[in-house]
Amino acid sequence: MENWEAFLAPYEQAIEELKVKLKGMRKLFEVDRQHSPIEFVTGRVKPIPSILDKARRKNVPFHQIGEGIQDIAGLRMMCQFVDDITSVVELLRERNDFDIVEERDYIANKKESGYRSYHLVLRYPVQTVEGEKKLLVEIQIRTLAMNFWATVEHSLNYKYKGQLPSGIEMRIQRAAEAAFRLDEEMSKIRGEIQEAHQVFLRKLEKNNPS
Ligand code: 0O2
């Protein structure tokens, strides 16, 4: 690539815009005193060495990197409860500022590693000095427990260059199941948790009247 900076600039722009928009969705629930299905949002542009690695792994020719690698721009939306993931996906499907071009449900169909998340691939329009560019952007939607597991597993894979020792591989798979059970347990006491949150908010308002 002759000029990575110029190639990646619209992706940076897409991430900045979408972070504002997706965080804004959370704010609207807060203002309305409703439970927000979105806990927090992060975003990043894939580092150049990771783009090149993935292109090599997936046999994507250099000139097709923008189409062949769907997560050059990637966002994550973290939720408290598994059911919140469905609500977030529905909210995103209703939006008209991008098109959803692919959905991958790694919650119903977990990966062999134990990975769970819901992936959406968007085509998002960015206004550049050369006119509009419609870029692919990946959004991963997961619970806090799924995120904890994925973050730890990602670091271990990085440390062991993708070849986890079998003892660790077994433990990390067990941890994935434990995270899944945690999500199930939390779903069962969801009503209690939300009521407690409302009590907390009311107390906060009483102590800090505006
Ligand atoms: P990073 O560092 O997270 O950006 P693939 O061919 O499977 O690599 P593809 O076709 O883009 O990729 O599809 P997929 O699997 O839907 O999405 C890949 C991304 O999902 C990964 O990006 C991870 O972020 C996440 N992911 C998928 N499988 C796993 C897994 O087993 N463990 C963890 N921790 N994350 C996973 P990258 O490019 O791997 O890297």
**What's phi and psi for 44, nearest 5 deg?**
-160, 155
Compute CA 133 distance to the chain's CA centroid, rounded to the nearest angstrom: 22
Q: How far apart are CA 158 and CA 46, in angstroms?
A: 15
Please check the confidence at residue 124 and state whether its pLDDT lies above 80: yes
Ligand 1 pocket check for 114: Cβ under 6 Å: no
Ligand 1 pocket check for 72: Cβ under 6 Å: no
Which of 94, 138, 192, 195 is the catalytic position?
Answer: 138
Please check the confidence at residue 188 and state whether its pLDDT lies above 70: yes
Amino acid 31: pLDDT: 84
ipTM more than 0.85? yes
Q: What average pLDDT score do residues 108-130 get?
A: 96
- pLDDT tens for each residue of 74-92: 999 999 999 999 999 999 9
**What's phi and psi for 103, nearest 5 deg?**
-130, 135
- 172 falls in which pLDDT band (50, 70, 90)? very high
What are the sequence ranges of the domains in the chain? 4-207
Q: From atom 26 of ligand 1, which residue's Cα is the shortest distance away?
A: 115
Amino acid 205: pLDDT: 81
Q: What architecture is the 4-207 domain classified under in CATH?
A: 2-Layer Sandwich (3.30)
Compute CA 203 distance to the chain's CA centroid, rounded to the nearest angstrom: 32
Please check the confidence at residue 191 and state whether its pLDDT lies above 90: no
Q: How far is the CA of 12 from the centre of ligand 1 (A)?
A: 20
- pLDDT tens for each residue of 33-78: 788 999 999 999 999 999 999 999 999 998 999 999 999 999 999 9
Please check the confidence at residue 204 and state whether its pLDDT lies above 90: no
Mean pLDDT in the chain?
Answer: 94
Ligand 1 pocket check for 197: Cβ under 6 Å: no
Q: What average pLDDT score do residues 115-137 get?
A: 97
Q: From atom 8 of ligand 1, which residue's Cα is the shortest distance away?
A: 54
User: Could you confirm whether 16 is annotated as catalytic?
Assistant: no
Amino acid 197: pLDDT: 80
Amino acid 194: pLDDT: 82
Ligand 1 pocket check for 111: Cβ under 6 Å: yes
- The minimum-distance atom of ligand 1 relative to the CA of 70 is 11
Q: How far is the CA of 140 from the centre of ligand 1 (A)?
A: 10
Please check the confidence at residue 2 and state whether its pLDDT lies above 80: no
Q: From atom 19 of ligand 1, which residue's Cα is the shortest distance away?
A: 71
Q: How far apart are CA 131 and CA 64, in angstroms?
A: 20
Q: How far is the CA of 193 from the centre of ligand 1 (A)?
A: 31
Q: Measure CA of the first residue to CA of the last residue in the chain; give whole Å.
A: 54
Please check the confidence at residue 200 and state whether its pLDDT lies above 90: no
Q: How far is the CA of 75 from the centre of ligand 1 (A)?
A: 12
Q: How far is the CA of 197 from the centre of ligand 1 (A)?
A: 34
- 210 falls in which pLDDT band (50, 70, 90)? low
